Amino acid sequence: MKRTKILLDENDIPKKWYNIQADLKTPMDPPLHPQTRQPIGPDDLKAIFPMELIKQEVSRDRYISIPSEVREIYRIWRPSPLYRARRLEKALKTPAEIYYKWEGVSPAGSHKPNSAVAQAYYNKKAGIERLATETGAGQWGSALAFATQLFGLQCRVYMVKCSYEQKPYRRILMETWGAEVFPSPTTLTNAGRETLKKDPQTSGSLGISISEAVEDAATHDNTNYALGSVLNHVVLHQTVIGLELKKQFELMDKYPDIICGCVGGGSNFSGTSFPFVRDKIMGKKPDLKVVSVEPLACPSLTAGEYRYDYGDSVGLTPLLKMYTLGHDFVPSAIHAGGLRYHGDSPLLSKLTKEGYMDALAYTQQEIFEAAMLFAQTEGFIVAPESAHAVRAAIDFAKMCKKKNEKKIIVFSNSGHGHFDLAAYDAYLNHKIVNGEYKKPLIKTAQ
Protein backbone atom coordinates (compact mmCIF):
# COMPACT_ATOMS: atom_id res chain seq x y z
CA MET A 1 0.00 0.00 0.00
CA LYS A 2 1.27 3.44 -0.94
CA ARG A 3 1.33 5.64 2.15
CA THR A 4 1.47 9.42 1.90
CA LYS A 5 0.73 10.22 5.55
CA ILE A 6 2.11 8.09 8.39
CA LEU A 7 0.06 8.67 11.54
CA LEU A 8 0.42 7.61 15.15
CA ASP A 9 -2.25 7.33 17.84
CA GLU A 10 -2.47 9.73 20.81
CA ASN A 11 -1.27 6.84 22.98
CA ASP A 12 1.99 6.95 21.00
CA ILE A 13 2.92 10.42 22.30
CA PRO A 14 6.24 9.77 24.07
CA LYS A 15 6.03 9.40 27.84
CA LYS A 16 9.67 10.40 28.27
CA TRP A 17 12.04 12.88 26.63
CA TYR A 18 15.39 11.56 25.37
CA ASN A 19 18.55 13.13 26.82
CA ILE A 20 21.55 12.65 24.53
CA GLN A 21 23.93 13.76 27.30
CA ALA A 22 23.69 10.19 28.62
CA ASP A 23 25.27 8.84 25.42
CA LEU A 24 28.03 11.36 24.73
CA LYS A 25 31.52 9.86 24.52
CA THR A 26 32.87 12.78 26.57
CA PRO A 27 30.92 15.10 28.89
CA MET A 28 29.80 18.61 27.94
CA ASP A 29 32.05 21.57 28.66
CA PRO A 30 30.26 23.34 31.55
CA PRO A 31 28.67 26.79 31.21
CA LEU A 32 30.80 29.47 32.87
CA HIS A 33 29.72 32.33 35.12
CA PRO A 34 29.79 35.61 33.13
CA GLN A 35 31.80 37.40 35.85
CA THR A 36 33.97 34.75 37.51
CA ARG A 37 34.46 32.51 34.42
CA GLN A 38 34.05 29.53 36.76
CA PRO A 39 31.59 26.68 36.10
CA ILE A 40 28.13 27.74 37.17
CA GLY A 41 26.04 25.85 39.70
CA PRO A 42 22.29 25.62 40.32
CA ASP A 43 22.33 28.62 42.67
CA ASP A 44 23.64 30.82 39.84
CA LEU A 45 20.57 30.04 37.72
CA LYS A 46 17.83 30.17 40.35
CA ALA A 47 17.17 33.86 39.69
CA ILE A 48 15.83 33.15 36.19
CA PHE A 49 14.93 29.41 35.95
CA PRO A 50 12.86 27.00 38.10
CA MET A 51 14.85 24.21 39.75
CA GLU A 52 13.27 21.42 37.68
CA LEU A 53 14.55 22.99 34.45
CA ILE A 54 17.99 23.55 36.01
CA LYS A 55 18.10 19.84 36.88
CA GLN A 56 17.16 18.93 33.30
CA GLU A 57 19.89 21.22 32.01
CA VAL A 58 22.64 19.20 33.72
CA SER A 59 21.05 15.74 33.88
CA ARG A 60 22.89 12.70 32.51
CA ASP A 61 19.79 10.48 32.76
CA ARG A 62 18.95 8.99 29.36
CA TYR A 63 15.20 9.47 29.72
CA ILE A 64 13.25 12.08 31.68
CA SER A 65 9.53 11.59 32.32
CA ILE A 66 7.10 13.99 30.67
CA PRO A 67 4.54 15.23 33.24
CA SER A 68 0.99 14.05 32.56
CA GLU A 69 -0.22 17.68 32.50
CA VAL A 70 2.23 18.41 29.66
CA ARG A 71 1.29 15.27 27.72
CA GLU A 72 -2.37 16.18 28.04
CA ILE A 73 -1.72 19.51 26.31
CA TYR A 74 0.51 17.81 23.72
CA ARG A 75 -2.58 15.79 22.74
CA ILE A 76 -4.03 18.94 21.11
CA TRP A 77 -1.61 18.47 18.18
CA ARG A 78 0.66 15.52 18.86
CA PRO A 79 1.62 13.10 17.45
CA SER A 80 2.42 15.17 14.40
CA PRO A 81 2.15 13.55 10.95
CA LEU A 82 4.99 12.26 8.82
CA TYR A 83 4.42 12.86 5.11
CA ARG A 84 5.91 11.16 2.05
CA ALA A 85 6.58 13.98 -0.46
CA ARG A 86 5.47 11.97 -3.48
CA ARG A 87 4.60 14.95 -5.66
CA LEU A 88 7.92 16.60 -4.92
CA GLU A 89 9.74 13.36 -5.75
CA LYS A 90 7.88 13.20 -9.06
CA ALA A 91 8.71 16.82 -9.92
CA LEU A 92 12.40 16.16 -9.21
CA LYS A 93 12.36 12.81 -11.04
CA THR A 94 14.47 11.40 -8.24
CA PRO A 95 14.75 7.76 -7.14
CA ALA A 96 15.04 9.02 -3.55
CA GLU A 97 12.20 8.82 -1.06
CA ILE A 98 11.55 12.19 0.62
CA TYR A 99 9.70 12.49 3.94
CA TYR A 100 8.96 15.42 6.20
CA LYS A 101 7.85 15.60 9.83
CA TRP A 102 5.21 18.33 9.85
CA GLU A 103 5.25 20.48 13.02
CA GLY A 104 2.99 23.16 11.54
CA VAL A 105 -0.05 21.44 13.08
CA SER A 106 0.42 22.99 16.54
CA PRO A 107 -1.83 25.91 17.60
CA ALA A 108 1.13 28.27 17.27
CA GLY A 109 2.05 26.78 13.90
CA SER A 110 5.50 25.41 14.72
CA HIS A 111 7.52 23.00 16.87
CA LYS A 112 8.04 25.63 19.57
CA PRO A 113 5.11 24.66 21.88
CA ASN A 114 6.85 21.34 22.58
CA SER A 115 9.13 23.25 24.95
CA ALA A 116 6.94 26.28 25.71
CA VAL A 117 4.26 24.13 27.34
CA ALA A 118 6.86 22.30 29.44
CA GLN A 119 8.58 25.51 30.54
CA ALA A 120 5.29 27.19 31.45
CA TYR A 121 4.28 24.12 33.44
CA TYR A 122 7.48 23.98 35.51
CA ASN A 123 7.42 27.72 36.17
CA LYS A 124 3.78 27.57 37.29
CA LYS A 125 4.64 24.71 39.67
CA ALA A 126 7.47 26.83 41.10
CA GLY A 127 5.09 29.69 41.91
CA ILE A 128 6.26 32.04 39.16
CA GLU A 129 3.65 34.53 37.95
CA ARG A 130 5.30 36.01 34.85
CA LEU A 131 7.73 34.95 32.08
CA ALA A 132 9.97 37.18 29.96
CA THR A 133 11.40 36.00 26.67
CA GLU A 134 12.84 36.97 23.31
CA THR A 135 11.61 35.99 19.87
CA GLY A 136 13.03 36.33 16.37
CA ALA A 137 10.38 35.60 13.74
CA GLY A 138 7.75 35.28 16.44
CA GLN A 139 7.40 31.49 16.43
CA TRP A 140 8.78 31.12 19.96
CA GLY A 141 7.01 34.20 21.29
CA SER A 142 3.65 32.98 20.03
CA ALA A 143 4.29 29.49 21.44
CA LEU A 144 5.11 30.88 24.87
CA ALA A 145 2.12 33.23 24.76
CA PHE A 146 -0.07 30.18 23.99
CA ALA A 147 1.48 28.14 26.82
CA THR A 148 1.37 30.89 29.46
CA GLN A 149 -2.29 31.54 28.64
CA LEU A 150 -3.06 27.87 29.36
CA PHE A 151 -1.31 28.01 32.75
CA GLY A 152 -2.49 31.48 33.80
CA LEU A 153 0.90 33.20 33.60
CA GLN A 154 1.73 36.70 32.36
CA CYS A 155 4.10 36.93 29.40
CA ARG A 156 6.32 39.69 28.03
CA VAL A 157 8.02 39.21 24.65
CA TYR A 158 10.99 41.21 23.32
CA MET A 159 10.66 40.72 19.57
CA VAL A 160 13.62 41.46 17.29
CA LYS A 161 12.85 44.82 15.68
CA CYS A 162 13.16 43.80 12.01
CA SER A 163 10.84 40.83 12.56
CA TYR A 164 8.40 42.98 14.56
CA GLU A 165 8.14 45.20 11.50
CA GLN A 166 8.12 42.36 8.92
CA LYS A 167 5.63 40.09 10.71
CA PRO A 168 2.77 42.07 12.34
CA TYR A 169 0.46 39.04 12.40
CA ARG A 170 2.81 37.16 14.70
CA ARG A 171 2.61 40.09 17.12
CA ILE A 172 -1.19 40.01 16.88
CA LEU A 173 -1.16 36.25 17.55
CA MET A 174 0.91 36.77 20.70
CA GLU A 175 -1.34 39.60 21.88
CA THR A 176 -4.43 37.46 21.21
CA TRP A 177 -3.02 34.95 23.70
CA GLY A 178 -2.48 37.76 26.22
CA ALA A 179 1.22 38.58 25.84
CA GLU A 180 2.84 42.02 25.85
CA VAL A 181 5.07 42.43 22.78
CA PHE A 182 7.76 45.09 22.27
CA PRO A 183 10.17 45.71 19.35
CA SER A 184 13.69 45.07 20.61
CA PRO A 185 15.87 46.90 21.44
CA THR A 186 13.51 48.86 23.70
CA THR A 187 13.89 51.70 26.18
CA LEU A 188 12.49 49.41 28.91
CA THR A 189 15.86 47.87 29.89
CA ASN A 190 19.41 49.04 30.42
CA ALA A 191 20.54 46.58 27.71
CA GLY A 192 18.08 48.04 25.23
CA ARG A 193 18.89 51.66 26.04
CA GLU A 194 22.64 51.05 25.71
CA THR A 195 22.15 49.33 22.35
CA LEU A 196 20.01 52.18 21.01
CA LYS A 197 22.56 54.71 22.20
CA LYS A 198 25.23 52.99 20.08
CA ASP A 199 23.01 52.39 17.04
CA PRO A 200 19.56 54.06 17.03
CA GLN A 201 18.71 52.47 13.67
CA THR A 202 19.66 48.89 14.57
CA SER A 203 17.49 46.11 13.12
CA GLY A 204 17.96 44.19 16.37
CA SER A 205 19.15 40.64 16.95
CA LEU A 206 18.24 37.63 19.03
CA GLY A 207 21.29 38.30 21.19
CA ILE A 208 20.02 41.80 22.04
CA SER A 209 16.49 40.55 22.73
CA ILE A 210 17.89 37.82 25.02
CA SER A 211 19.79 40.47 26.98
CA GLU A 212 16.58 42.43 27.51
CA ALA A 213 14.53 39.40 28.55
CA VAL A 214 17.20 38.12 30.97
CA GLU A 215 17.52 41.58 32.54
CA ASP A 216 13.73 41.78 32.89
CA ALA A 217 13.61 38.40 34.65
CA ALA A 218 16.55 39.17 36.92
CA THR A 219 15.03 42.47 38.09
CA HIS A 220 11.50 41.22 38.88
CA ASP A 221 10.97 38.81 41.79
CA ASN A 222 7.85 37.25 40.28
CA THR A 223 9.45 36.72 36.85
CA ASN A 224 11.57 34.01 35.25
CA TYR A 225 13.21 33.83 31.85
CA ALA A 226 12.09 31.34 29.17
CA LEU A 227 14.34 30.47 26.24
CA GLY A 228 13.12 29.08 22.92
CA SER A 229 16.27 27.26 21.80
CA VAL A 230 19.98 26.58 22.49
CA LEU A 231 19.95 25.31 26.10
CA ASN A 232 19.95 21.60 26.91
CA HIS A 233 16.50 21.51 28.54
CA VAL A 234 14.91 23.11 25.44
CA VAL A 235 16.55 20.57 23.15
CA LEU A 236 15.40 17.81 25.54
CA HIS A 237 11.73 18.84 25.24
CA GLN A 238 11.93 18.86 21.45
CA THR A 239 12.95 15.18 21.31
CA VAL A 240 9.24 14.30 21.22
CA ILE A 241 9.63 15.02 17.49
CA GLY A 242 12.45 12.55 16.90
CA LEU A 243 10.98 9.85 19.15
CA GLU A 244 7.71 9.96 17.22
CA LEU A 245 9.61 10.04 13.93
CA LYS A 246 11.53 6.89 14.87
CA LYS A 247 8.29 5.09 15.61
CA GLN A 248 6.80 6.23 12.30
CA PHE A 249 9.75 4.82 10.37
CA GLU A 250 9.50 1.58 12.36
CA LEU A 251 5.87 1.26 11.22
CA MET A 252 7.16 1.31 7.63
CA ASP A 253 10.13 -0.92 8.47
CA LYS A 254 12.46 1.79 7.14
CA TYR A 255 15.32 3.94 8.41
CA PRO A 256 16.52 7.26 6.95
CA ASP A 257 19.85 7.67 5.18
CA ILE A 258 19.84 11.49 5.41
CA ILE A 259 18.23 13.73 8.05
CA CYS A 260 18.26 17.50 7.63
CA GLY A 261 16.66 20.52 9.29
CA CYS A 262 17.00 24.25 9.69
CA VAL A 263 19.19 25.54 12.50
CA GLY A 264 19.25 28.91 14.23
CA GLY A 265 19.78 27.97 17.86
CA GLY A 266 19.19 24.32 17.02
CA SER A 267 16.22 23.11 19.06
CA ASN A 268 13.93 21.77 16.32
CA PHE A 269 16.65 19.93 14.45
CA SER A 270 18.31 18.61 17.60
CA GLY A 271 14.96 17.33 18.83
CA THR A 272 14.31 15.67 15.48
CA SER A 273 17.74 14.14 14.95
CA PHE A 274 19.15 13.27 18.39
CA PRO A 275 17.24 9.97 18.82
CA PHE A 276 18.84 8.94 15.50
CA VAL A 277 22.25 10.47 16.30
CA ARG A 278 22.31 8.12 19.30
CA ASP A 279 22.37 5.19 16.84
CA LYS A 280 25.33 6.82 15.09
CA ILE A 281 27.20 7.38 18.36
CA MET A 282 26.59 3.74 19.33
CA GLY A 283 27.95 2.54 15.97
CA LYS A 284 24.61 1.09 14.84
CA LYS A 285 24.20 3.51 11.90
CA PRO A 286 27.70 4.86 11.13
CA ASP A 287 26.73 6.01 7.60
CA LEU A 288 23.75 8.10 8.69
CA LYS A 289 24.12 11.66 7.34
CA VAL A 290 22.78 14.35 9.70
CA VAL A 291 22.87 17.89 8.28
CA SER A 292 22.08 21.26 9.87
CA VAL A 293 20.97 23.95 7.41
CA GLU A 294 21.49 27.65 8.13
CA PRO A 295 21.32 31.01 6.30
CA LEU A 296 24.43 32.18 4.51
CA ALA A 297 23.79 35.61 6.08
CA CYS A 298 24.26 34.14 9.58
CA PRO A 299 26.51 31.07 9.12
CA SER A 300 27.50 30.22 12.68
CA LEU A 301 28.14 26.50 12.06
CA THR A 302 29.80 26.90 8.66
CA ALA A 303 31.85 30.05 9.37
CA GLY A 304 31.90 30.53 13.15
CA GLU A 305 34.45 29.55 15.78
CA TYR A 306 33.97 26.75 18.31
CA ARG A 307 34.66 28.33 21.69
CA TYR A 308 33.11 29.89 24.77
CA ASP A 309 30.89 32.91 24.16
CA TYR A 310 27.95 34.69 25.75
CA GLY A 311 24.48 33.60 24.73
CA ASP A 312 23.36 37.24 24.57
CA SER A 313 24.79 40.48 23.18
CA VAL A 314 25.49 42.35 26.41
CA GLY A 315 27.11 39.54 28.42
CA LEU A 316 24.45 38.79 31.04
CA THR A 317 24.11 35.08 30.29
CA PRO A 318 26.54 32.28 31.15
CA LEU A 319 29.34 31.58 28.69
CA LEU A 320 28.53 28.57 26.52
CA LYS A 321 30.90 26.35 24.51
CA MET A 322 29.43 26.55 21.02
CA TYR A 323 29.93 27.62 17.43
CA THR A 324 29.64 31.41 17.38
CA LEU A 325 30.04 34.45 15.13
CA GLY A 326 30.62 36.64 18.18
CA HIS A 327 28.00 37.73 20.68
CA ASP A 328 27.69 41.27 19.30
CA PHE A 329 27.25 40.15 15.68
CA VAL A 330 24.09 41.61 14.10
CA PRO A 331 23.12 39.76 10.90
CA SER A 332 21.29 41.16 7.89
CA ALA A 333 17.51 41.56 8.28
CA ILE A 334 16.67 38.36 6.40
CA HIS A 335 13.12 36.96 6.43
CA ALA A 336 14.17 33.83 8.32
CA GLY A 337 14.20 35.82 11.56
CA GLY A 338 14.31 32.70 13.73
CA LEU A 339 17.72 31.79 12.28
CA ARG A 340 19.40 35.15 13.02
CA TYR A 341 21.34 33.97 16.08
CA HIS A 342 25.08 34.34 16.56
CA GLY A 343 25.57 30.95 18.21
CA ASP A 344 24.17 27.43 18.42
CA SER A 345 23.09 24.81 20.92
CA PRO A 346 26.15 23.58 22.85
CA LEU A 347 24.96 19.98 22.35
CA LEU A 348 24.50 20.38 18.60
CA SER A 349 27.82 22.25 18.40
CA LYS A 350 29.68 19.50 20.25
CA LEU A 351 28.23 16.77 18.03
CA THR A 352 29.10 18.82 14.94
CA LYS A 353 32.64 19.38 16.18
CA GLU A 354 33.02 15.64 16.83
CA GLY A 355 31.84 14.75 13.31
CA TYR A 356 28.42 13.26 14.04
CA MET A 357 26.64 16.13 12.27
CA ASP A 358 27.42 18.33 9.24
CA ALA A 359 26.22 21.78 8.15
CA LEU A 360 25.17 23.64 4.98
CA ALA A 361 24.30 27.31 4.33
CA TYR A 362 22.02 28.89 1.71
CA THR A 363 21.00 32.32 0.45
CA GLN A 364 17.45 33.71 0.73
CA GLN A 365 16.99 33.33 -3.03
CA GLU A 366 17.86 29.65 -2.87
CA ILE A 367 15.54 28.84 0.00
CA PHE A 368 12.54 30.67 -1.45
CA GLU A 369 13.02 28.88 -4.78
CA ALA A 370 12.75 25.62 -2.84
CA ALA A 371 9.77 26.83 -0.79
CA MET A 372 7.90 27.75 -3.98
CA LEU A 373 8.48 24.32 -5.52
CA PHE A 374 7.38 22.68 -2.27
CA ALA A 375 4.19 24.78 -2.11
CA GLN A 376 3.38 23.98 -5.73
CA THR A 377 3.88 20.23 -5.27
CA GLU A 378 3.08 19.41 -1.63
CA GLY A 379 0.69 22.30 -0.99
CA PHE A 380 2.13 23.55 2.30
CA ILE A 381 3.49 27.09 2.51
CA VAL A 382 6.37 26.78 4.95
CA ALA A 383 8.11 29.34 7.11
CA PRO A 384 11.31 30.86 5.65
CA GLU A 385 13.22 29.06 8.40
CA SER A 386 11.78 25.68 7.39
CA ALA A 387 12.49 26.44 3.73
CA HIS A 388 16.20 25.95 4.49
CA ALA A 389 15.49 22.29 5.23
CA VAL A 390 13.36 22.00 2.08
CA ARG A 391 16.27 23.35 0.01
CA ALA A 392 18.69 20.81 1.44
CA ALA A 393 16.28 17.90 0.94
CA ILE A 394 15.77 18.92 -2.69
CA ASP A 395 19.52 19.15 -3.27
CA PHE A 396 20.13 15.73 -1.71
CA ALA A 397 17.33 14.29 -3.88
CA LYS A 398 18.97 15.78 -6.97
CA MET A 399 22.26 14.16 -5.97
CA CYS A 400 20.44 10.83 -5.70
CA LYS A 401 19.07 11.34 -9.22
CA LYS A 402 22.55 12.10 -10.55
CA LYS A 403 24.03 9.00 -8.90
CA ASN A 404 20.90 6.86 -9.36
CA GLU A 405 20.75 6.16 -5.62
CA LYS A 406 17.50 5.28 -3.87
CA LYS A 407 18.13 6.88 -0.50
CA ILE A 408 15.63 7.85 2.17
CA ILE A 409 15.71 11.54 3.00
CA VAL A 410 13.74 13.06 5.88
CA PHE A 411 13.63 16.66 6.98
CA SER A 412 12.17 18.51 9.91
CA ASN A 413 9.45 20.80 8.54
CA SER A 414 9.34 23.07 11.56
CA GLY A 415 6.42 25.40 10.84
CA HIS A 416 3.98 27.05 8.46
CA GLY A 417 4.56 30.36 6.67
CA HIS A 418 1.04 31.79 6.80
CA PHE A 419 2.30 34.90 8.58
CA ASP A 420 5.33 35.14 6.29
CA LEU A 421 3.47 35.91 3.08
CA ALA A 422 5.14 39.32 2.81
CA ALA A 423 8.40 37.39 2.31
CA TYR A 424 6.80 35.29 -0.43
CA ASP A 425 5.45 38.49 -1.97
CA ALA A 426 8.97 39.92 -2.02
CA TYR A 427 10.21 36.77 -3.77
CA LEU A 428 7.38 36.78 -6.32
CA ASN A 429 8.09 40.42 -7.14
CA HIS A 430 11.86 39.87 -7.45
CA LYS A 431 12.63 41.95 -4.36
CA ILE A 432 14.37 39.30 -2.27
CA VAL A 433 17.76 40.49 -1.06
CA ASN A 434 20.09 37.70 -0.06
CA GLY A 435 21.66 39.55 2.83
CA GLU A 436 25.35 39.46 3.21
CA TYR A 437 27.73 38.00 5.71
CA LYS A 438 30.70 40.18 6.42
CA LYS A 439 33.20 38.33 8.54
CA PRO A 440 33.04 40.20 11.84
CA LEU A 441 35.85 40.89 14.24
CA ILE A 442 34.90 37.98 16.47
CA LYS A 443 35.37 39.12 20.03
CA THR A 444 36.36 36.46 22.49
CA ALA A 445 34.45 36.38 25.73
CA GLN A 446 37.46 35.36 27.78
CATH number assigned to the domain comprising residue 260: 3.40.50.1100
The Cα 300–Cα 230 span in angstroms is: 13
Residue 270: per-residue pLDDT = 98
Over residues 269-278, mean pLDDT:
98
- The predicted-structure confidence for 33-90, as pLDDT tens digits, reads as follows 988 999 998 888 998 999 999 999 999 999 999 999 999 999 999 999 999 999 999 9
CB 386 within 8 A of CB 424: no
Q: Is residue 294 part of a domain?
A: yes
Percent of the chain with pLDDT over 90: 85
What is the separation, in whole angstroms, between the first and last Cα of the chain? 59
Q: Is residue 213 part of a domain?
A: no
Q: Is residue 300 part of a domain?
A: yes
Over residues 127-156, mean pLDDT:
95
Residue 112: per-residue pLDDT = 97
- Structure confidence at residue 3 as a pLDDT band (50, 70, 90): confident
- Structure confidence at residue 257 as a pLDDT band (50, 70, 90): very high
The Cα 57–Cα 247 span in angstroms is: 26
Q: Is residue 280 part of a domain?
A: yes
Domain count, the chain: 1
Residue 441: per-residue pLDDT = 43
Residue 438: per-residue pLDDT = 62
Q: Which spans in 219-290 are helix H?
A: 232-251, 267-281
- Run of H or E including 218: helix 206-218
Minimal CA–CA distance to 227: which of 267, 172, 168, 270? 267
**Which of 25-29, 333-337, 355-359 is predicted least confidently?**
333-337
The residue range of the domain holding 309 is: 69-109+240-428
Per-residue pLDDT at 443 exceeds 60: no
- Run of H or E including 421: helix 421-428
- The predicted-structure confidence for 194-204, as pLDDT tens digits, reads as follows 999 999 999 88
Q: Is residue 16 part of a domain?
A: no
Per-residue pLDDT at 445 exceeds 50: no
Q: Is residue 296 part of a domain?
A: yes
Q: Is residue 14 part of a domain?
A: no
